[in-house]
């Protein structure tokens, strides 16, 4: 009697689930079409940790189906059957699915379903669905349906031209082409036929605008009286954000009860909403001053939409009218339009996080800045603030020249 067990061979998220089949004369592994976050996998039980939530139930049911299918097939083998990893793969595969070459949009639906089942966030899944809708409109313009195996360089080039014609920003086009490749890689790993040149798909990126507030501008905002309580409340949140370096989804969750103190230093003990990363966020003096003004309390939380509206008005009142390159959404075109605008018009809830990272880059070791913002790699941190390798060298030389040897 063969035994069937499931395992992971990688710590990467998501990680593919493998199946191992053994009996006295046979021991081989095969890759299933299922993926899971390693943190949600029990090595001891060889199954998802949580079988009560929808994702865990779905994956476990599929694993049970695979186990049943393998055992049934194993009991029917004859002396001419070669038992190896390829045999496992053939048994695991749904022959109907693999014999039918799926359309690209059909596979995109499968990709989205897989992402939903393996714990992708609601916002991420919604982004995939938006991309799929764009591809659907593009293929409608072609007046033909495209098979997964036909998504190649030519297809990507046509897609890029379609997006450019409809005024999509180059930086967005660049991200979309990366998503095309990601879906194709996913399909290839699942055993579907793909184009032999999809890996060469590429698009030019465009340097994105990195809007931030300088320390002088923050000081001006701090010192400018606000005409209403709502604007005063939003102004304090804006200043706080410039020294905490958090996303607005985490910023508005900051409250007095989350403040801790060690050796006279205060910090906020918080788990980031997007990354689920546990953070110890340092409370710098400008933030402490605002809290003291408010009897130790943070400003009143407000919705993202209201916050975006209010801080634009705050910066307008503070006189931030210098013409600055940026993008603003044009409702008539239903697109962001690049141009020069008065700076206050470009201010959004993201400006505080970027201002913190940009203002203190080169003044505080990058490792400590990343510990405050939650960035996991220095590369992603530098891209976030628009810095490259030459900027890094300039900062290093500036520090080096100040040292007395």
For the chain, give every domain's residue range.
Answer: 3-93, 104-200, 215-402
Of 278, 351, 341, 272, give the one whose Cα is nearest residue 308.
351
23 and 8 Cβ atoms separated by less than 8 Å:
no
Q: What is the pLDDT of residues 219-241, one digit of tens each?
A: 999 999 999 999 999 999 999 99
Architecture of domain 215-402: Orthogonal Bundle (1.10)
Helices (H), ranges, 143-254: 153-165, 170-189, 215-223, 229-244, 248-251
Q: What is the pLDDT of residues 96-148, one digit of tens each?
A: 444 457 899 989 998 888 888 777 777 788 889 999 999 999 999 998 889 99
Ordered DSSP codes for 62-121:
HHHHHHHHHHHHHTT--TT---SHHHHHHHHS-HHHHHS--BHHHHHHHHHHHHHHTT--
pLDDT at position 98, please? 44
Residue scoring higher pLDDT (336 or 301)? 301
256 and 297 Cβ atoms separated by less than 8 Å:
yes
132 and 108 Cβ atoms separated by less than 8 Å:
yes
The mean predicted confidence, pLDDT, of the chain is 85
Decide if pLDDT at 18 tops 60. Answer: yes
Q: Does the predicted TM-score (pTM) go above 0.75?
A: no
Which segment of 14-18, 234-238, 266-270 scores lowest on mean pLDDT? 14-18
pLDDT at position 70, please? 85
Measured in whole angstroms, how far is the alpha carbon of residue 29 from the centre of its chain?
Answer: 32
What gap in Å lies between CA 277 and CA 125, rounded to an integer?
20
Q: What is the pLDDT of residues 163-196, one digit of tens each?
A: 988 888 888 888 899 899 989 988 887 778 889 8
């Amino acid at each position: 009697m063969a035994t069937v067990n499931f395992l992971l061979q990688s710590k990467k998220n998501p990680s593919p689930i493998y199946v191992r089949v053994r009996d006295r004369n046979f021991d081989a592994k095969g890759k299933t079409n299922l993926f899971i976050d390693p943190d949600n996998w029990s090595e001891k039980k060889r199954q998802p940790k949580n079988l009560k939530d929808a994702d865990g139930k779905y994956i476990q049911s599929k694993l049970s189906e695979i186990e049943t299918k393998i055992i049934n097939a194993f009991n029917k083998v004859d002396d001419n059957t070669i038992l190896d990893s390829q045999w496992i793969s053939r048994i695991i595969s749904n022959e109907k699915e693999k014999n039918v070459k799926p359309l690209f949009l059909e596979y995109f639906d499968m990709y989205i379903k897989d992402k939903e089942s393996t714990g992708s966030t609601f916002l991420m899944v919604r982004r995939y669905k938006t991309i799929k809708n764009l591809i659907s409109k593009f293929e409608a313009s072609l007046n033909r349906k495209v098979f997964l195996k036909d998504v190649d360089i030519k297809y990507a080039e046509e897609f890029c031209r379609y997006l450019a014609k409809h005024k999509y920003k180059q930086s967005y086009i660049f991200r979309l082409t990366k998503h095309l490749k990601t879906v194709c890689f996913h399909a290839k790993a699942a055993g579907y036929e793909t184009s032999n040149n999809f890996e060469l798909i590429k698009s030019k990126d465009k340097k994105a605008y990195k809007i931030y507030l300088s320390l002088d501008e923050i000081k001006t905002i701090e010192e400018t009286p606000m005409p209403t309580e709502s604007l005063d409340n939003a102004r304090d949140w804006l200043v706080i954000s410039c020294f905490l370096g958090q996303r607005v989804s985490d910023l508005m969750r900051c409250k007095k009860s989350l403040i801790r103190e060690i050796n006279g230093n205060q910090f906020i003990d918080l788990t980031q909403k997007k990354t689920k990363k546990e953070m110890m966020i340092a409370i710098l003096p400008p933030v402490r001053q605002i809290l003291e003004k408010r009897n130790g309390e943070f400003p009143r939380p407000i919705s993202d939409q209201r916050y975006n509206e209010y801080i634009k008005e705050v910066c307008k009142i503070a006189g931030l009218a210098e013409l600055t390159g940026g993008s603003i959404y044009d409702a008539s075109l239903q697109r962001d339009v690049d141009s020069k605008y008065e700076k206050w018009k470009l201010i959004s809830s993201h400006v505080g996080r970027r201002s913190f990272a940009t203002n203190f880059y080169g003044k505080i070791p990058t490792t400590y800045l990343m510990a405050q913002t939650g960035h996991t790699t220095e590369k992603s941190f530098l891209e976030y603030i628009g810095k490259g390798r030459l900027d890094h060298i300039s900062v290093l030389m500036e520090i080096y020249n100040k040292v007395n040897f």
